[in-house]
Chain A
């Protein structure tokens, strides 16, 4: 089975030569910790409204964090800053909520929404919304697969939610390049496809998130290379395929084939048990409605 990246690259024509100058520039800014993860303006508005309203209950705030990949990533980044973490690394969203408490979480949400770069690339806006919707669905399926396997449910959810966190970073970073010439659009897509896993993984490492999470994000298109995180990366890859099939209303034959996905053996899930997850896919996909 082709990886998702291979499928996309096959479908897109190669970019023009000028994209070659963007690759080393991005990597240099990544190494220097200068890349930023933007948030959609309407998401910011919604979170700001909820976080600044003292009547917003704790459950609602905790749910807000879970349903947007960019918000989740920024909350974890701030939670792991020296000011908030006090030497205790936060390793999941639930861990963050329970360790920080709701009052501190509210403060962090305000910080994040007031301080972060907004996503303003008009041409990529709809694409980013679809990406975030897909990430949320991937998180939901990764969580359920982990539950059936009795593995780290919180970690799997987070890996699913953040597996494409590198994409909005690259869209924002390449916005000027893309705007300079309409012919650059395909090149931006190819470069984003190429670098998003690496960029996402490096940023998660920079934010002191668990190594297994970074590896799962880095290798979600090629889990066999993830070494001791192969199981975690495979769960994300399978969840991503299930999410895509569900949200794009794939036919029954395509869905049934997922029950014998070649990566199931990487985390010891039998086809019969995977079939039970697939049978509940509509329910699972709707369980996290309210996201972007």
Chain B
């Protein structure tokens, strides 16, 4: 038997978007119930996604940098010897620390937590089925759907999470595969492909497109592809997998549309993600998913049902933790009648490949479309002293300016530290600084940030 419990705000999903929505509501002193299906707050970002993969990435980067910076004086690892478990040994510590931090924050802010699987009984009423099997009914004035996403599966490539895996199961591997076929070339596929190539796995990437992460600036992805190939990765573009099957002994055989058969110890299928809407019974809220299986929302994150919002991966791209957080805040502020956050439209993005890629503002193509042209200043990392010191000379920083070369429109970086470097450009955009500011002000020496000065000088020298 269950009695209906009343709250001001119901948040379904404890990932980045849901957390921020809940905390924003608590700032306004609302009674908030956060419903999370799993044992730990944080969503897939913490358990299987961002945190574990970036922890493994750091290990791979550290090993690679050590070898490069010692000029081969030390043999760091032999690819046969290192079990994945030891490389991942810090992951548990990192995840626990993150979970403890989030748990403390939510508790400090007095967010009520409920562990269970929620479904709509009506637009503002949810049924929550707990782990024990018991159910409870809760209602609220505002509902935020932040249930995230899961890897997309296709009928042609059956995923068994043992030989043919997706990004959720891939890091559960107990050993480093000798060979890996990665199906897809988006963010997740490219990140994992680059990490495992750096760790010594023989990687083959297969995708219909002609380059990885094709939505990014082609100059950036050209640097990435060059680096990946230098580590032995084979990129098979303009093709796709039509079948994949375990041979019962020691390999997965992936057949491509071209007829080629790729043999590898494991296969990672990373061909997009789909929203977690299956258990929600959204039809009871008067909602339907669009043709891509996502929820449509307006600029404030509100669905077609007043008072019901959706944030994060359920609404589609950019599907980043950072954008989900901002969407959560924006949606809740709108729901509460508060002004939107400042500069919510100027979100940086980063792809944690090896090397990293990052950007903020307009791309060169977008600037040409919007302004009838663009002046681009470039700095390669081999022009930067720190690039040589750190043995990280493969990289590029682009300043995208208007045709006069006096207004900064965007910054795009590939190379070591790109995800950090981009924030300098982000601040310059927010402060509407001219590119001359990078020349007239002093940077520490030697730093990678000096690339901003070099790129600015390059652009200024070609001003009309």
Contacts and interface: CB of A to CB of B under 8 A. Distances in A.
Nearest to A147: B161
Interface in A233-292: 259-260, 262, 264-266, 268, 270-272
A210 B250 contact: no
Nearest to A269: B131
A264 B80 contact: no
Interface string A114-136: 00000000000000000000000
Contacts of A86: 80
Nearest to B82: A88
A193 interface: no
B131 A265 contact: yes
A260 B133 contact: yes
B133 A102 contact: no
Contacts of B402: none
Contact of A210 (B133, B174, B249): B174
B interface majority secondary structure: loop
Contacts of A259: 133
Interface stretch (B162-170, B287-295, B419-427): B162-170
A62 B249 contact: yes
A87 B81 contact: yes
Given A95-B174, A210-B174, A89 B168 contact: no
Contacts of A95: 174-175
Contacts of A153: 160-162, 169, 172
Interface in A172-216: 210, 212
Most chain A CB within 10 A, of B248, B250, B279, is at B250
Nearest to A95: B175
B129 A152 contact: no
Interface string B73-112: 0000010110101000000100000000000000000000
B174 A264 contact: no
Contacts of B80: 86-88
A98 interface: yes
Interface in B113-170: 115, 117, 129, 131-133, 160-163, 166, 168-169
Interface in B247-289: 247-251, 265, 279
B249 A150 contact: no
A270 B173 contact: no
Contact of B81 (A88, A151, A154): A88
A154 B85 CA distance: 14
Contact of A152 (B132, B133, B174): B174
Contacts of B393: none
Contacts of A101: 250
Given A155-B174, A210-B85, A270 B131 contact: yes
A91 interface: yes
A148 B246 CA distance: 19
B30 interface: no
A91 B85 contact: yes
A228 B96 CA distance: 11
A62 B39 contact: no
Nearest to B130: A271
Nearest to B167: A150
A86 B78 CA distance: 12
A270 B117 contact: yes
A19 interface: no
Contacts of A89: 83
Contacts of A146: 161
A150 B48 contact: yes
B173 A152 contact: yes
Interface string A60-90: 0011000000000000000000000011110
A43 interface: no
A97 interface: yes
B251 A98 contact: yes
B1 to A, nearest CB: 17
B133 A91 contact: no
B37 interface: yes
B59 interface: no
A225 to B, nearest CB: 17
Nearest to B246: A94
Contact of A58 (B48, B92, B248): B248
A147 B162 contact: yes
A143 B163 CA distance: 13
B432 to A, nearest CB: 46
Interface in B46-90: 48, 78, 80-81, 83, 85
Nearest to B178: A98
Contact of A92 (B39, B92, B174, B279): B174
Contacts of A150: 48, 161, 166, 168-169, 172
Of A88, A150, A151, A262, most B-chain CB atoms within 10 Å: A150
A59 interface: yes
Contacts of B81: 87-88
Contacts of A270: 37, 117, 129, 131
22 contacts: A58-B248, A91-B85, A97-B249, A97-B250, A98-B251, A101-B250, A143-B162, A147-B160, A147-B161, A150-B48, A152-B174, A153-B161, A153-B162, A154-B162, A154-B174, A210-B85, A262-B132, A265-B39, A265-B131, A268-B39, A271-B131, A272-B279
Interface of B: 37-39, 48, 78, 80-81, 83, 85, 92, 115, 117, 129, 131-133, 160-163, 166, 168-169, 172-175, 178, 247-251, 265, 279
Given A58-B248, A154-B162, 5 more contacts: A88-B80, A98-B250, A98-B265, A150-B168, A265-B131
* A-B complex: 8 closest residue pairs judged by Cβ atoms: A59-B248, A150-B169, A153-B162, A98-B250, A260-B133, A152-B172, A58-B249, A150-B168
